[in-house]
């Protein structure tokens, strides 16, 4: 069920800028982004390819450093953290669902889902058991947990990726095009799963997408273009039925 009031801020971006390269070859990916994301909220980022969506979530997730501006995640400003502290904080607080799944082909589903715990030094047997429990949350049975990625469908691989993103109980879940390779029914199922599992216990969920079929799952939608957040709306109907300008690549 969507929340109507948000009292707690999960992410606060203020005048966020990011450029790649230097001098005349510099490319400005973000041009002063202001965005607030609340706990208990599913925020979608939409807009044409190249508008800065992936750059923005990479800064929020602590993968990239901004050039200017502030990005505060659950009260922590990355600029005031050492690289090791930032890496540790990111590993504790953020779960990332990659567009290409990024499963390790030589590991089983349960082993893939356990990776964030193993990286943090957890006991292997205990980590696998926690991962199996999370895989049950996303609809896996015991046989599927022992399957290798090559034995799984796209939708099943996506569920392993989601379990991996959630297994360490992060506060912020960031998803890059989670339904782009899925058929309509599977995509709807994945989004229902994300809403049910991710939006618990003061968490927040950010989804980058081009998939208009899933817009109705959002609490709010931020439309981006040319490195800016142009506006934030509560439903896709407020985007004039199309979050892209005519002629923009989709």
Q: By C-alpha distance, which of 191, 167, 175 is closest to 116?
A: 167
For position 7, what pLDDT does the model report? 56
pLDDT at residue 127 above 80? yes
Boundaries of every domain in the chain: 9-235
Q: How many CA atoms within 13 Å lie on the side-chain side of 31?
A: 12
**Which architecture, in CATH terms, is 9-235?**
3-Layer(aba) Sandwich (3.40)
Residue 250 clears pLDDT 80, i.e. is over it: no
pLDDT above 60 (res 2): no
Query: To the nearest whole number, what is the mean pLDDT of the chain?
Result: 88
In this prediction, residue 199 carries a pLDDT of 80
Are 36 and 9 within 8 A, CB to CB?
Answer: yes
pLDDT score for 6? 44
Give the pLDDT of residue 172.
95
Residue 217 has pLDDT above 50, yes or no: yes
Residue 243 pLDDT > 50: no
Confidence of residue 125 (pLDDT cuts 50, 70, 90): very high
From 13, 75, 61, select the one nearest 170 (Cα to Cα).
Answer: 61
Does residue 3 have a pLDDT over 70?
no
d(CA 19, CA 69): 12
pLDDT at 154: 85
CA angle (94, 98, 100) in 5-degree steps: 165
Q: pLDDT band at 55, cuts 50/70/90?
A: very high
Per-residue model confidence as pLDDT tens digits over 64-94: 999 999 999 999 998 888 888 988 898 889 9
5-46 pLDDT, tens digit per residue, is: 445 899 999 999 999 988 888 899 999 999 999 999 999 999
Q: What is the pLDDT of residues 158-186, one digit of tens each?
A: 889 999 999 998 999 999 988 887 788 88
* Reported confidence tier of residue 245, pLDDT bands at 50, 70, 90: very low
User: What is the per-residue pLDDT for 110?
Assistant: 97
Q: How far is CA 108 from CA 132, 146, 182, in A?
A: 11, 5, 21
């Amino acid at each position: 069920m969507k929340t109507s009031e948000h009292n707690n801020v999960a992410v606060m971006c203020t005048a966020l800028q990011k450029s790649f390269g230097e001098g005349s070859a510099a490319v400005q990916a973000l041009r002063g982004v202001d965005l607030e994301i609340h706990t208990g909220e599913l925020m979608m980022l939409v807009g044409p390819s190249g508008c800065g969506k992936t750059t923005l979530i990479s800064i929020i997730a602590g993968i990239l450093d901004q050039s200017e501006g502030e990005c505060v995640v659950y009260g922590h400003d990355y600029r005031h953290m050492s690289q090791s502290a930032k890496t540790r904080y990111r590993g504790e607080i953020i779960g990332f669902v990659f567009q290409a799944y990024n499963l390790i082909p030589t590991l089983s589903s349960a082993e893939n889902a356990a990776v964030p715990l193993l990286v943090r030094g957890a006991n292997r047997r205990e980590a696998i058991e926690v991962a199996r429990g999370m895989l049950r949350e996303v609809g896996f049975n015991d046989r599927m947990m022992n399957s290798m990625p090559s034995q799984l469908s796209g939708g099943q691989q996506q569920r392993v990726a989601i379990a991996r993103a959630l297994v360490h109980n992060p506060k912020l879940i960031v998803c890059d095009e989670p339904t782009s390779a899925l058929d309509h029914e599977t995509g709807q199922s994945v989004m229902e799963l994300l809403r049910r599992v991710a939006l618990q216990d003061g968490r927040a969920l950010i989804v980058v997408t081009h998939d208009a079929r899933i817009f109705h799952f959002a609490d709010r939608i931020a439309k981006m273009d040319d490195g800016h957040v142009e506006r934030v709306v509560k439903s896709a109907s407020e985007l004039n039925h199309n979050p892209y300008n005519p002629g923009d690549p989709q």
